[in-house]
Chain A
């Protein structure tokens, strides 16, 4: 398995405070990798560090290319799509305009229409709401839109920050089911940040557990699920 994303000795800073300490992790091509941990463990910061949204040091390679220290816009152009905390929706724009903005970095504008239709295939509700202002969508619909917007750039790696946050369980299930489909059908590599450890371990191939900015555990998701400490602290049995 080839590694799509590799990070080593990754540190991140808010002001002068170091909040991530020497993280090392990787995402294999075509796999789903989960970053788990409690509130404040540094999961979101890790994604932000990959995308250059927070000051960081250490080495991050994407498909072999070092991306540490590059501008966010340039990292995104290499093929990383990031659905940030809070979904990053352009609230006053329509659903369709949001998708159009997602395709901003694409040169092949002619393919856009078919991509939009492909995504409407995954999320039929978005097709119904295509002319609607994105701010009027429900939370679940906004999460679907955020995923679709990210996929419009045809990324090689998808960074997802808590896609389950604030959504009803049935909506979460639907979204996770589609993420699995996108991974299986399109070979999309995904780095998933999740507080819902049970769900994330069910979806991912590999997982890392963060505790206050440090890597505490890592391994195949199936094995982590059986791990004593994970079970007690995060799965509750």
Chain B
């Protein structure tokens, strides 16, 4: 029983990370109907950035915030400089550019920081909370950070003028332009927010899976599966999908198939969702009457 609970809790922790990255994918998908395959590598690069700052002597939380800010800006610039010119290009051109970005970030990280695995500090104490044996303090902290982040994002999109404008630009770009919304800026802003989310996901997962240039490939795969499971354009679905996949992955890994086949689970889920219910389990429908 203790073992089971332990697996569920640590599944929740990694699930939160999948949820964040899945939400980042969904945000960009809703605005552009494209999946940013480089989202994971961008998050990895952000994590290296945080690692460099911490190694240079900066305390954890300032480095954390600075990393989020830099990631936000860098992603907005990447969108404006590299992705935006492709707005009218065929979809495959964008896909190739995303894959190109993935390789560029991966190689630059390997070139600058080498491919050897590094440890990444956790901001949370190493002794378990209330001396329990189910969950480490870092896992509790990661879940807390994820939930706080999701709450902030929800409030931003739900209650602020800018959030409303960004949602409008994603839902109906032409109408948005006709009411004077600068849609291109909103998309760049969306990229920034997605990268900020990814950066947090990277910094939260790195103490668990360690830091190396390929650290996010598995996480991105799970995030992609989570986003699909929830319906690729549904933010709530992505979050729920992320948390549930984290748990499923851990339980299957511990009791059924072992850790070697964990990655296969993500791929199996992707195929299963696409074949059985392409709109996702929590597929959202907009009511329309004419």
Contacts and interface: CB of A to CB of B under 8 A. Distances in A.
Report the interface size class on chain A. 20 to 34
Contact of A88 (B175, B180, B288, B289): B175
A51 B178 contact: yes
B164 A88 contact: no
A133 B287 contact: yes
A90 B178 contact: no
Contacts of A51: 178
A81 B287 CA distance: 26
A137 interface: yes
A139 interface: yes
A72 B164 contact: no
Contacts of B176: 101
Interface in A100-130: 100-102, 104-105
Contact of B289 (A73, A90, A101, A139): A139
B179 interface: yes
Given A91-B286, A139-B289, A97 B164 contact: yes
B83 interface: no
Interface string B172-207: 101111111111000000000000000000000000
A135 B172 contact: no
Contacts of A139: 289-290
B32 interface: no
B182 A89 contact: no
A25 interface: no
B289 A104 contact: no
Contacts of B183: 73
A101 B178 CA distance: 10
Contacts of A89: 172, 175
B208 to A, nearest CB: 37
Interface in A142-158: 149, 153
Contact of A90 (B171, B182, B290): B171
| Max count, chain A CB within 10 A of own CB: residue among B171, B175, B182, B288 | B175
Contact of A91 (B161, B181, B288): B288
Contacts of A91: 171-172, 286-288
Contacts of A43: none
| Max count, chain B CB within 10 A of own CB: residue among A88, A102, A139 | A88
A72 B177 contact: yes
A92 interface: yes
A175 to B, nearest CB: 16
A92 B164 contact: no
Contacts of B279: none
A93 B179 contact: no
Contacts of A77: 180
A93 B171 contact: yes
A76 interface: yes
A76 B178 contact: yes
A92 B286 contact: yes
B173 to A, nearest CB: 10
A105 B161 CA distance: 12
Interface of B: 161, 164-165, 167-168, 171-172, 174-183, 286-290
Given A93-B168, A135-B286, 10 more contacts: A51-B178, A73-B182, A77-B180, A81-B179, A92-B171, A101-B168, A104-B180, A133-B286, A135-B288, A139-B289
Which 4 residue pairs of A and B lie closest in terms of their CB atoms, listed nearest first?
A105-B180, A88-B175, A76-B180, A72-B177
